[in-house]
Homo-oligomer: A and B are copies of this chain.
């Protein structure tokens, strides 16, 4: 069916987590870039052919399209050591993936997006009103991670799993959104640990 294609915006952490997963499992990806600020994922053709939800990343497997970053990362990791074999540990790993999309990404990633790509001066009134709450929720997410990592080296097992890859993606660029990581020493040690894994690639690779 040809190479797997990642429809992406390369600087998005949601896209990077898929490339990082692919690197760890040794799966080459073809890449197709969209300018999200120019609305290239909201065109009629994109909505019809790639993702009716108008978002990247989307993983394309032949004629099949798989939206949602953590589902795409799961697809690539399925059958590898990145997904725990034990039933509870597998569900516990998924717990962190859902937590990332509910408590981490809408705060840490959105604040980074608003501040670095949209620009604070260009925010809508509603976005500006939401900013303090999103910053506070992002700080709470980092604090929860730090407390969890104070008792273990990785999120679920004593080695890298998909939970670490998914959480690494936006945490390692949180400072671009103005989040100060200095109060979170366990997070910083874990970031270094993840980056030192064999097979690691950078968001700019």
- Give the interface of A toward B (CB within 8 A): 52-53, 61, 64, 66-72, 74-75, 78-79, 87-88, 90-92, 94-95, 97-99, 101-103, 105-106, 126, 129-130, 133, 144, 147-148
The closest CB in chain B to the CB of A91 belongs to B75
Contacts of A79 in B (CB 8 A): 87
A52 and B87: CB pair below 8 A?
no
| Alpha-carbon distance A130/B106, docked complex (angstroms) | 14
State whether B98 touches A98 (Cβ < 8 A): yes
The 9 closest A-B pairs by CB, nearest first: A75-B91, A71-B95, A68-B98, A71-B94, A68-B95, A71-B91, A101-B102, A70-B98, A129-B129
Cα distance, A91 to B75, chains bound together (Å): 5
Give chain B residues whose Cβ lies under 8 Å from the Cβ of A103: 53
User: Is the beta-carbon distance between A94 and B67 smaller than 8 angstroms?
Assistant: no
Q: Which of B68, B78, B92, B95 contacts A90 (CB 8 A)?
A: B78
- CB contacts (< 8 Å) of A67 on chain B: these are 95, 99
Residue in B closest to A99 when the chains form the complex, CB atoms: B68
Chain B residues lying within 8 Å of A102, measured Cβ to Cβ, are 68, 101-102, 105-106
Q: Is the CB of A53 within 8 A of B98?
A: no
Contact check, A71 vs B98: say whether CB atoms are below 8 A apart: yes
Q: Which residues on the B side are within 8 Å of A105 (C-beta)?
A: 102
**A94 closest partner in B (C-beta):** B71
Q: Across the interface, which residues of B come within 8 angstroms of A64, CB to CB?
A: 88, 92
